[in-house]
Amino acid sequence: MSLSELKFSTEKRPTPAFRASPVEKARAAVLASIEVQRLIVASEKSGSTHNLTKTVKSVDAEGNTITSTVNRKPRRWFWKNPQGIYIVELLFSNQPVVIANGKTAVEAGTLEGVEKTLNILAEATAKGEFDQAFASIKSKRKPRKKAA
């Protein structure tokens, strides 16, 4: 086999998450949260409870690290208003994101509308349409104190 038999590509290696820019990290976080909201909508449509878990590490009295899996209760981004219409709100860092004209909520109508709205918000997030809004929310957050 020689080099002439190989098929070359201009494809670049994807950037690891820890080296991603703050904008890419914000988009990835919102897209992951949208996926969680989709799971919640699917479970609500089927009438079952969602089974989302997270891994928690704690230290016991002897100083041993214990890893356990616990149920997770994420905040829902959608709700029904008094007229029975579903409303969807996109969140980043637990803050509502301004979507258009200073408004943060979208009328979705039904659960199918909620799914459609989440898909549209995911596409817009992936395209970078909310990058300014994410940056604005991030700039208003209080800085974390570093552990000594």
d(CA 22, CA 20): 7
Question: Residue 74: which residues within 8 A CB-CB, separation 6 or more?
Answer: 33, 36, 37, 40, 52
- Per-residue model confidence (pLDDT) at position 22: 82
Q: How far apart are CA 119 and CA 123, in angstroms?
A: 6
Place of tokens 């230290």: 59
pLDDT per residue rounded down to tens, the chain (148 residues): 678 888 888 888 877 766 778 888 889 999 999 999 999 999 888 888 777 888 889 888 888 898 988 888 888 999 999 999 999 999 998 889 998 888 999 999 899 999 999 999 999 999 989 988 888 888 887 777 776 5
Q: Measured between alpha carbons, how far is 63 from 61 in angstroms, rounded to an integer?
A: 6
- Enclosing H/E stretch for 7: none
